[in-house]
Amino acid sequence: MIKTILQRILQLIPILFIVSTIVFVLTRIIPGDPAVTMLGPQAPVEAVEELREELGLNKSIGEQYILYLKNVLKGDFGKSYAYNEPVTKLIFERFPNTLILTAISLILAIIIAIPIGIISATKQYSIFDYVSMIGALVGVSMPIFWLGLMLVLVFSVNLSWLPSIGMGSLENGIWDYVSHLILPSVCLATIPAATFARITRSSMLDIIKQDYIKSLRSKGLKERIVIWKHALKNALPPIITVIGLQISTSLSGAILTETIFGWPGMGRMIVDAIENRDYALIQGTVLFIAFLFVFINLIVDIIYLYVNPKINYEGKKGGE
């Protein structure tokens, strides 16, 4: 187990190196000059040149790259041109906001979708099954920006129940905080919920047909126990895989959702950074996201160990 974790951490090194190189190259390929972006198109050439020198942009690409790698190894991701603050500080300011939004929306998705998937599977071809699977199809196909705007239109503009933009503060009371979270969470939860419901249903359908389910029923176990204890645990691996993927995607910034609801998270920061050609910030955040992906994959693998006793990463004898 510990060996597995260490192995994964070692794997991180080449992954992060490759990602940082790709990001570095990509940011340089984007047309546009940070100095021009910052000073505006009408700025005098001398001022632009001066700024380029200050930012180190007048050096050759190779020099810039080596300097960048050196700094990254020291844990220094540079300073954001636009915010004039260290990238690490910006990430750690924004990341908790994204984390809370992701956590709430995924918990919401899991609580709603997994039971729906299970019931759909146990009552295959029932009205419930049809309705929920059509709902799931609509959910995955829904454009997020449209859903977000509709939520704002209905619940903020027409009904005035919930705020449409920004993040609440606990200092203004718990309701301020919660009410600002509701719409973005619902918006962000829709696609994952639809995906989870579908994968749960199909995985459960597979398992319910297995011999051991009949065998468990023949032992006089209640249907509830057979389904929710035995079948569900067997059906979990693909569900966990999909949840893991969704966590990574949502954490790396629910760009559309954060933009629509003015949520001060990572997603919006990346969009702004790209618009501003804020090289250091782009590089820092992408690297951070790559790290998150690998980290979450590791967690998922560890959960597999618990869910499926046949999996054994250490290469010992496991199964036939």
Partner 1 sequence: MSDSIISVKDLKTYFYLSTGIVKAVDGVSFTLSKGETMGIVGESGSGKSVTASSIMRLIQKPIGKIVNGEIIFEGKDILKMKNKELLDLRGKDISMIFQDPMTSLDPVYKIGQQIIEVIKVHQNVSKEKAKKIAIEALEMVGIPEAESRMNAYPHEFSGGMRQRVMIAMAIVCNPKLIIADEPTTALDVTVQAQVLDLLKDLQKKMGTSILIITHNLGVIWDMCDTVMVMYAGKTVEYAKTATLYEQPLHPYTWGLLDSMPKLSQDTEKPLKAIKGTPPDLKLTGNACNFHNRCPYAQEICKNKAPELIEIEEGHFAACHFQTKDKKLKRKEEV
In the complex, which residues of this chain contact partner 1 (CB under 8 A)? 210-212, 214-222, 230, 233-234, 307-310, 318-320
Nearer to partner 1, 74 or 316 (CB): 316
Nearer to partner 1, 202 or 210 (CB): 210
CB of 240 to partner 1, least distance (A): 13
Query: Which residue is listed with tokens 């967690």?
Result: 299
Nearer to partner 1, 3 or 233 (CB): 233
Nearer to partner 1, 69 or 221 (CB): 221
CB of 304 to partner 1, least distance (A): 11
CB of 85 to partner 1, least distance (A): 49
CB of 308 to partner 1, least distance (A): 6
Nearer to partner 1, 39 or 305 (CB): 305
CB of 120 to partner 1, least distance (A): 15
CB of 115 to partner 1, least distance (A): 20
- Side-chain half-sphere exposure of 57, counting CA atoms within 13 A: 19
CB of 226 to partner 1, least distance (A): 9
Nearer to partner 1, 294 or 305 (CB): 305
Nearer to partner 1, 91 or 236 (CB): 236
CB of 91 to partner 1, least distance (A): 39
The 3-state secondary structure of the chain reads: CHHHHHHHHHHHHHHHHHHHHHHHHHHHHCCCCHHHHHHCCCCCHHHHHHHHHHHCCCCCHHHHHHHHHHHHHCCCCCECCCCCCEHHHHHHHHHHHHHHHHHHHHHHHHHHHHHHHHHHHHCCCCHHHHHHHHHHHHHHHCCHHHHHHHHHHHHHHHCCCCCCCCCCCHHHCHHHHHHHHHHHHHHHHHHHHHHHHHHHHHHHHHHHCCHHHHHHHCCCCCHHHHHHHHHHHHHHHHHHHHHHHHHHHHHCCCHHHHHHCCCCCHHHHHHHHHHCCCHHHHHHHHHHHHHHHHHHHHHHHHHHHHHCCCCCCCCCCCCC
Q: Residue 116: which of 103, 135, 100 has the closest Cα?
A: 135
Nearer to partner 1, 236 or 280 (CB): 236
